[in-house]
Amino acid sequence: MKLLTRNTDYAVRAICCMASKPEKVFTVAELTNGLKIPRPFLRKILQLLNKEGIVRSTKGLGGGFTLAMKPSRIFLSVLMEAFQGPLKINECIFKKKICPDIGRCPLRRKINMIEDHVVSELRSVTIGSLIKKG
Amino acid sequence: MKLLTRNTDYAVRAICCMASKPEKVFTVAELTNGLKIPRPFLRKILQLLNKEGIVRSTKGLGGGFTLAMKPSRIFLSVLMEAFQGPLKINECIFKKKICPDIGRCPLRRKINMIEDHVVSELRSVTIGSLIKKG
DNA sequence: TTATAATGATACCATTTTAGTATCATTCTG
DNA sequence: CAGAATGATACTAAAATGGTATCATTATAA
Ligand code: FES
Ligand code: FES
């Protein structure tokens, strides 16, 4: 059961890193040093985060990435959706074949309940909630 | 987010099928007819179910597979474990690197909570509960 | 104004996991 | 013994994931 894929995980850490100094512009190199993530891969990740508006990029010398939102507004669920697609648990294989009435299929009902719970939990996690140290 | 992989799904359906006539010995061919699962693949699945003691096989002419347990005792969680490994949500990537104290990492705590919920839900689903039609 | 340091865009490759096949051995029944 | 079934196991195919490479663009500063 994989909940977070690697790029989501990387994204989370990178953002946590950046959240520690909100004003600083981080170059990819700096972030990789701290995090030991393959550099070109992290670049790709940051580029997507930029498109998503979670991070802001500036080009050229002295450029790099900064958070575009407050950590408390960055939801784990949003990161997961960006990197892993919609938060949906897989459909069943035999659509109508087996299940006479998909609306009443007890397996699907159960799966949907699980999904609802998982998703609502994920939606409650923000980067902000992750970095406030204990 | 994939909860059930294909072979688990196939296994569930095959078992549901078999549960409808508990005394009948099903040949693989019969099951594939009903279910449209690639025959050799279903064989492999049934062989594993046999090893797990969920299904009983008899060889030779007139042989095939029967359920070895009552549907109400066959848990979805057990099938998932058999086909997909332990019901554990992925560990984080940077073991000790980032997380100063894994016991206190709020992300991990959250993930663990989600995992506990999912697993306990899955443990409550049996084939029996799936086949009692509404 | 040009060299350089940064990201943007994108195509490509590698690895791992999942899905599915093929084959031969074994066993049971008639 | 013939044939119908599964047992065991090795192999292949396809998809998802993880990671590289490359060239274009932009900004800074000597
Ligand atoms: S057919 Fe998909 S859960 Fe019932
Ligand atoms: S390091 Fe894994 S969840 Fe904190």
Task: Break chain A into its structural domains and give their ranges.
Answer: 6-131
Strand C footprint nucleotides (protein C-beta < 7 Å): 4-11, 18-23, 26-30
Query: Which 3-state string (H, E, C) describes chain B?
Result: CCCCCHHHHHHHHHHHHHHHCCCCCECHHHHHHHHCCCHHHHHHHHHHHHHCCCEEEECCCCCEEEECCCHHHCEHHHHHHHHHCCCCCCCCCCHHHHCCCCCCCHHHHHHHHHHHHHHHHHHCCEHHHHHCCC
- Looking at A1-10, A99-108, B76-85, which range is the least confident one? A99-108
Q: Which of B97, B99, B114, B115 to mutate to test the pocket of ligand 2 (most atoms within 8 A of CB)?
A: B99
pLDDT for res A89 = 77
Q: Whose CA is nearest to atom 2 of ligand 2?
A: B92
**A107 alpha carbon – ligand 2 mean position (Å):** 32
Q: Is the model more confident about B117 or about B89?
A: B117
pLDDT for res A36 = 84
Strand D footprint nucleotides (protein C-beta < 7 Å): 2-10, 17-22, 25-29
Grade residue B107 by pLDDT with cuts at 50, 70 and 90. Answer: confident
Q: What is the pLDDT of residues A67-121, one digit of tens each?
A: 999 999 999 999 999 999 999 877 665 544 445 455 566 777 888 888 899 999 9
CATH number of A6-131: 1.10.10.10
The answer to whether A55 CB is within 7 Å of strand C is no
CA dist A108 and B130 (Å) reads 9
Identify whether the C-beta of residue A41 lies closer than 8 Å to the C-beta of residue A97.
Answer: no
Q: Is the model more confident about B120 or about B99?
A: B120
CA dist B58 and B15 (Å) reads 16
Mean pLDDT over B8-23 rounds to 94
CA dist B18 and B31 (Å) reads 8
pLDDT for res A100 = 47
- Measured between beta carbons, the chain A residues lying within 8 angstroms of B133 are 100
Residue A3 in contact with ligand 1 by CB distance below 6 A:
no
Grade residue B96 by pLDDT with cuts at 50, 70 and 90. Answer: very low
Q: How far apart are the first and last CA of chain A?
A: 28
Mean pLDDT over B68-96 rounds to 86
Q: In Å, how far are A13, B16, B86 from B100, measured between CA atoms?
A: 13, 47, 26
> Across all residues in chain B, what is the average pLDDT?
88
Q: Is the model more confident about B96 or about B91?
A: B91
- Looking at A1-5, A18-22, A79-83, B50-54, which range is the least confident one? A1-5
pLDDT greater than 80 at residue B97:
no
The distance (Å) linking the CA of A8 with the C1' of D28 is 33
Where does residue A12 rank: exposed (0-12), middle (13-18), buried (19+ CB within 10 A)? buried
Identify whether the C-beta of residue A110 lies closer than 8 Å to the C-beta of residue B121.
Answer: yes
Residue A107 CA: nearest ligand 1 atom is: 3
Number of C-beta neighbours around residue B57 at 10 A: 16
CA dist B35 and B17 (Å) reads 9
Residue B87 in contact with ligand 2 by CB distance below 6 A:
no
pLDDT for res B113 = 87
Q: In Å, how far are A36, A69, B126 from B55, measured between CA atoms?
A: 47, 55, 15
Residue in chain A closest to B124 (alpha carbons) equals: A110
Beta bridge partners of A55: A67
How close is the nearest chain B Cα to the Cα of A116, in Å?
11
Q: What is the pLDDT of residues B20-69, one digit of tens each?
A: 999 999 999 999 988 889 999 999 999 999 999 999 999 999 999 999 99
